Amino acid sequence: MARLTWHGHSCFLLETDDGKRILFDPFLDQNPVSDIRAADIGDLDFILVTHGHADHFADAISLAKRTGATLVSSFEIVSFVQTQGVENAHPMSIGGGHSFSFGYAKMTPALHGGEVAGDDEGKYTTMAGGWWLDLNGGKRLYHAGDTALTMDMKLLEGQVDVALLPIGDNFTMGPGDAVRAVEFIRPRAVIPMHYNTWDVIKQDPHAFARAVGELARVVVLEPGGSYEF
């Protein structure tokens, strides 16, 4: 079984069937709802970063340095982290995919902002993205990142087993648009993310689950909680 553990906001640890440990959007030490600190995350093989905002990227550089994990993100974000002493990094761009030891990862579009936190000179503005993973063994995962609802999500229809979708509203799509995203994608299971970190993105995930209804199984996690698939 593969296991996804939610550490609050958009930070998930994925442990694959073949034992790879992949961390999405590290935001732990400054995350008001995280169950752990960055120091407690353990070994990592990969760090996948959807975009450069601090609430997705804050612990990425320090964790990449400490664990030696390969940081995978946009060309611009990877260029920036290389100036900060990260040695193992792999640049990609939206629409492109690459085969890694855990399987195939494609960077998906996201409609969102492109600032890179920590780049004080503003040289590394980037496109926000998400991730579609086709893991060894055939399980497919979509981490939407921060995004509006887009018609592009229809392209994922029937190709996702587990979708991680933001529902917080304000900075990303809210619950209503996230239900439409489920209609577009038709994943088997959905895990809501990017809500209840702060008051401005306060949502009731169980109301979202009721709104999704029979379209997909909605898995509501608490920080520290896991889902196996």
Provide the residue type at 15 as one letter. E
Nearer to Ni ion, 67 or 126 (CB): 126
Closest CA to 110 of 85, 138, 143: 143
As measured in angstroms, the least distance from the Cβ of 224 to Ni ion is 23
C-alpha dihedral sign at 6, 7, 8, 13 = negative
Contact window for Ni ion (CB under 5 A) among 48-56, 101-109, 176-184, 203-211:
48-56
Q: How many residues in the shown chain lie near Mn ion by CB under 5 A? A: 2
194 is a contact residue toward Ni ion (CB under 5 A): no
55 is a contact residue toward Mn ion (CB under 5 A): yes
As measured in angstroms, the least distance from the Cβ of 55 to Mn ion is 4
Are 130 and 144 contacting, i.e. CB atoms less than 8 angstroms apart?
Answer: yes
Site string for Mn ion, 128-167 (x = CB under 5 A): ------------------x---------------------
Q: CA 189 to CA 33: how far, in whole Å? A: 23
Query: What's the per-residue H, E or C state across 63-86?
Result: HHHHHCCEEEEEHHHHHHHHHCCC
Nearer to Ni ion, 117 or 215 (CB): 117
Site string for Ni ion, 135-164 (x = CB under 5 A): -----------x------------------
59 binds, among Mn ion, Ni ion, none (CB under 5 to 8 A by kind): none
C-alpha dihedral sign at 52, 153, 163, 160 = negative
134 is a contact residue toward Ni ion (CB under 5 A): no
53 is a contact residue toward Ni ion (CB under 5 A): yes
Rg (CA), the chain: 16
Vertex 2: Cα angle to 161 and 221 (nearest 5): 75
177 is a contact residue toward Ni ion (CB under 5 A): no
Mapped onto helix, strand or coil, the DSSP state of residue 209 is helix
Nearer to Ni ion, 26 or 103 (CB): 26
Please report, as ranges, the residues that interact with Mn ion according to CB under 5 A: 55, 146
